[in-house]
């Protein structure tokens, strides 16, 4: 089992730790975390039994790989001793917008540097992650990266040139989906349902529709057409969405998120 060191102990780090333990890829003794000036590391340790380090040396001595899971804005202020302590180790970063070249410049003596873009549904094992690396991953290193990420859900390999796009589509995607659910529930309440009724109706409709989509293998358009009768209620609603340029609104959200990722990458 690899010994893994997590720089950061927030939600995504916690989700990866939980996934590693759930899959059996690591035992609690194989995982060490370090947090900031809050209780997240202690809370994670209490929940899972993983070790908590208080210094970079304590964190990295004996580790096979390092997971960079702090907030992106904290990277610039990262203790410089991490760079030398990571000599010969694999480094996996989940920092949005932070390029392999930037991570590699800091961890210049690491044996390889990889990036991943997971998303928040990984907390319940239903996420998806993309990964890339500065150099092709050795078999053992690919196994470590995939063990870390597969506990969150499926893993796909993409070139780094696609990472701003994947950040927009799947990294930011849950936020866009939750906003749509919130808007849908708000509109349902405006139609006269109680908040609890709206919650049940909307969420079951959405989750059931996703299950149907997966089970049938149909395209979304085909399933949409199956529930749309000429002159019917669904058609009236779809016409209203088209009049409001719904698909353009969705495209605009992804374009804006991708552009922001590009800006963050250039700023580093």
255-264 pLDDT, tens digit each: 999 999 888 8
* Residue 96 DSSP SS3: coil
Instruction: Tell me the pLDDT tens digit for each residue of 147-176.
Output: 999 999 999 999 999 999 999 999 999 999
- Closest C-alpha to 124, from 36, 218, 35, 207: 207
Single pTM value for the model: 0.88
Parallel, antiparallel or unpaired: strands 129-133 and 112-117: antiparallel
Classify 23 as helix, strand or coil. Answer: helix
Measured N-to-C along each axis, helices 173-190 and 195-216 cross at an angle, to the nearest 10 degrees, of 130
pLDDT band at 37 (very low <50, low <70, confident <90, very high): confident
Taking every pair of Cα atoms in the chain, the longest distance, rounded to a whole number of angstroms, is 69
Write down all domains in the chain, each with its CATH number in brackets: 4-158 (3.40.50.720), 173-266 (1.10.3730.10)
Note whether 83 and 113 are within 8 A (CB): no
Report the helix count and the strand count for the chain, using DSSP H and E. Answer: 12, 8
CB atoms near residue 21 (< 10 Å): 18
């Amino acid at each position: 089992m690899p010994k893994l060191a997590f720089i950061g102990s927030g939600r995504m780090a916690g989700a990866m730790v939980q996934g590693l333990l759930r899959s059996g890829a690591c035992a609690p003794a194989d995982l060490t975390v370090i947090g900031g000036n809050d209780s997240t590391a202690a809370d994670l340790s209490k929940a899972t039994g993983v070790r908590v380090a208080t210094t970079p040396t304590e964190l990295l001595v004996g580790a096979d790989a390092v997971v960079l899971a702090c907030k992106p804005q904290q990277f610039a202020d990262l203790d410089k001793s991490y760079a030398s302590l990571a000599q010969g180790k694999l480094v996996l970063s989940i920092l949005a917008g932070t390029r392999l070249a930037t991570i590699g410049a800091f961890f210049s003596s690491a044996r390889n540097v990889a990036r991943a873009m997971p998303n928040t549904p990984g907390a319940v094992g239903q996420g998806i992650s993309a990964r890339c690396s500065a150099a092709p991953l050795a078999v053992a290193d690919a196994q470590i990266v995939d063990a870390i990420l597969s506990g969150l859900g499926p893993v796909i390999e993409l070139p780094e040139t696609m990472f701003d796009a994947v950040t927009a589509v799947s990294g930011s995607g849950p936020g866009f989906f939750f906003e749509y659910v919130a808007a849908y529930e708000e509109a349902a309440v405006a139609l006269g349902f109680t908040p609890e009724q709206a919650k049940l109706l909307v969420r079951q409709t959405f989750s059931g529709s996703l299950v149907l989509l997966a089970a049938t293998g149909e395209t979304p358009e085909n399933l949409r057409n199956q529930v749309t009768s000429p002159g019917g209620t669904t058609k009236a609603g779809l016409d209203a969405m088209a009049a409001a340029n719904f698909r353009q609104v969705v495209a605009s959200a992804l374009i804006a998120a991708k552009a922001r990722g590009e800006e963050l990458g250039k700023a580093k």
